[in-house]
Structure 1
Amino acid sequence: MNIVIIGKSGQLAFELSRELDNSAHQVTFLGRDNIDVTSSDSIYATLAPLSVDVLINASAYTAVDKAEEDTEACDAINSLAVANLAKYCKANGAFMVHVSTDYVFNGHKGSPYLTGDPIEPQGAYGKSKAAGEKALLEILPEASCLIRTAWVYSSHGNNFVKTMLRLMAEKPQLTVIDDQIGTPTWAKGLAKACVSAAENKTAGVYHWTDEGVASWYDFALAIQELGVEKGLLDKSIPVLPIPSSQYPTPAKRPHYSVLDKQTAREAFASCKPTHWRKQLADMLDELSA
């Protein structure tokens, strides 16, 4: 089939390119220099010659704190563009896979969020992603797969894991927030779920992260321990837990955003979610290689 991926510089696009590299599909990656997803005219002019069977939207505005001031650009990419792409898919009989975020929830539930739980985003980024979800599900309810994820990292691009490794090599000591709870997710596993959704045209709303639960502090400790073990760090430094109140940010983050993956385990049966610590170890092996 013809699979078109919107986005080519991000972590998910990087992993999608590796996942689809030896597939039998015709795969096209489109970045900002190829298509303006905020313009319907650009979308139609670019996609029409490609005879799209499935479109995977791997593009997003993800600068969570910057979004509090840059709301127009954030909304354009995370909401308007999703509506534009969904309208194109509806008009041309294409299936659409779209990735959203744990930030659509308020973080107060205290147990894993189900796909049908009410959404209540707390900041500009979460609100823009929620608006994108709403547009997709209104325009293309029968021919779309919405996958919410969280805490994504990979060996490509900038992310928490690589930032921690850099700071642990530079600083004598670090403080990391210990009262925000979620699940780290290697983009490689997320890419597999997206490809499964695309190949099988699995419609519906699903949650996909790695398995298990962690605070950012737990995650940082594991990064250091495995970083030393794999030769990415020369030594350990003290890493101290602090509450969110001691590290104020422009955007409010959900305190608890673990996502329930039961329906995804069934829908993407070939993907087999793996515990986040094993995934982290495998990604660090990539980095050390």
Structure 2
Amino acid sequence: MISPTAPKVLVLGGKTGLLGQSLCASLTKAGWQTVSVGRDDLDLFDQDRVAAFLDDHEPDIICNTVAYTQVDQAEDEPEEAARLNHRLPAALGRLAKQRNIRLVHYSTDFVFDGKAATPYCSESPTSPQSVYGKTKLAGEKALQDLGLDRLTIIRTAWLFGPGRTNFVAKILALAAQRASLNVVHDQTGSPTYTPDLADYSVELLKAEGTGIFHLVNCGCATWCELAGAAVQAKGLQCDVFPIPSDQYPQKAKRPAYSVLDTCAFTTLTGIKPRPWLQALREYVFQHLT
């Protein structure tokens, strides 16, 4: 039973979002009051309505999981990407500051240029190469410029998990129908299981962590390695072949290397994220049977 004195968390994108759904589940499991908000519940771009909603519900914390995530489409729709990834968090930040509400905002590995040889830490220089990455970084900076006392920015990457279509689910659906798949092998990142990301986010909230943190599962992989591991876990008879990015052209430029370092999170909480392969197997066995 959730105590009425437990912290109340407003999760924007909590009804249908890949991360939002897992975050609501983790907060509830932790015994926190959770208010899940979807696009049909509240127009986030109506400042007066959002302000009234906040005054009515009086949350202690706002978690913003809403974003424009169509990476290639953003190249053709930069204004819409900026509206969701830059202007929305800035507006939420202003409302949160006026009411002294803690704000947690999720960002991305795409704020980096992908030219590093070792994992990116929170303080690593940013240099986004796509509209998506640029608008997400603009959102981060807009929030930082507001000078909020209790702001947490969580960068994450390569999300997979229950509740919504994602790369792993798509790969397994294709592998069930085909004898072979060609998957890009020259992009390396940090696969992240949304229930784990959500649990780690709750731990970060408990520890009162502020500033920028990187939260992903331990280890790294190429898209081809992630696909191959998923196919193997599912036991499908499908060969996964590596191809270079230029054989799978995409409109937006992806970081060739965007592995994220979670040391700041571990130092604060004492928790080391579990390996992505372990999380992947849990996802396949428990949610994709």
Confirm or deny a common fold (TM above 0.5).
yes
Deviation string 1:162-218 (CA, Å, 9 cap, x unpaired) is 001001011221100000001100001111122223333311111011001111111
Say if 1:69 and 1:60 are closer, same or farther in 2 by CA, change over 3 A: same
Alignment correspondent of 1:173: 180
User: Matched residues in 2 for 1:191 and 1:84: separation?
Assistant: 24
Residue type matched to 2:197 in 1? L
Structure 1 position 115, deviation (Å): 0.7
Determine whether 1:131 maps to 2:138.
Answer: yes
Residue type matched to 1:268 in 2? T
Determine whether 1:39 maps to 2:46.
Answer: yes
User: Matched residues in 2 for 1:213 and 1:99: separation?
Assistant: 20
Structure 1 position 157, deviation (Å): 0.5
Structure 1 position 40, deviation (Å): 1.9
1:46-195 to structure 2, matched below 5 A, reads 46-195=53-202
Residue type matched to 2:153 in 1? L
TM-score in terms of structure 1 length = 0.94
Give the secondary structure class of the aligned counterpart of 2:176.
helix
Structure 1 position 221, deviation (Å): 0.9
Structure 1 position 26, deviation (Å): 2.0
Give the secondary structure class of the aligned counterpart of 1:245.
helix
Residue type matched to 2:257 in 1? Y
Determine whether 1:226 maps to 2:233.
Answer: yes
User: Matched residues in 2 for 1:288 and 1:176: separation?
Assistant: 21
TM-score in terms of structure 2 length = 0.94
Alignment correspondent of 1:232: none
Say if 1:288 and 1:162 are closer, same or farther in 2 by CA, change over 3 A: closer
Which runs of no fewer than 5 residues in structure 2 stay unpaired? Answer: 1-6
Structure 1 position 288, deviation (Å): 4.2
- Is the CA contact (8 Å cut-off) linking 2:106 and 2:154 kept in structure 1? yes
Structure 1 position 260, deviation (Å): 1.0
Give the secondary structure class of the aligned counterpart of 1:42.
helix
Deviation string 1:79-101 (CA, Å, 9 cap, x unpaired) is 11100111111100111111100
User: Matched residues in 1 for 2:268 and 2:43: separation?
Assistant: 32
Alignment correspondent of 1:254: 255
Residue type matched to 1:284 in 2? V
User: Matched residues in 1 for 2:45 and 2:18: separation?
Assistant: 21
Residue type matched to 2:10 in 1? V
Q: CA RMSD in A?
A: 1.3
User: Matched residues in 1 for 2:132 and 2:31: separation?
Assistant: 36
Deviation string 1:86-122 (CA, Å, 9 cap, x unpaired) is 1111100111111100000000112111111111111
- Is the CA contact (8 Å cut-off) linking 2:11 and 2:24 kept in structure 1? no
Runs of 4+ in 1 over 4 A off after TM superposition: none
- Is the CA contact (8 Å cut-off) linking 1:103 and 1:122 kept in structure 2? yes
Identity of aligned residues (%): 35
Structure 1 position 158, deviation (Å): 0.9
Structure 1 position 29, deviation (Å): 0.9
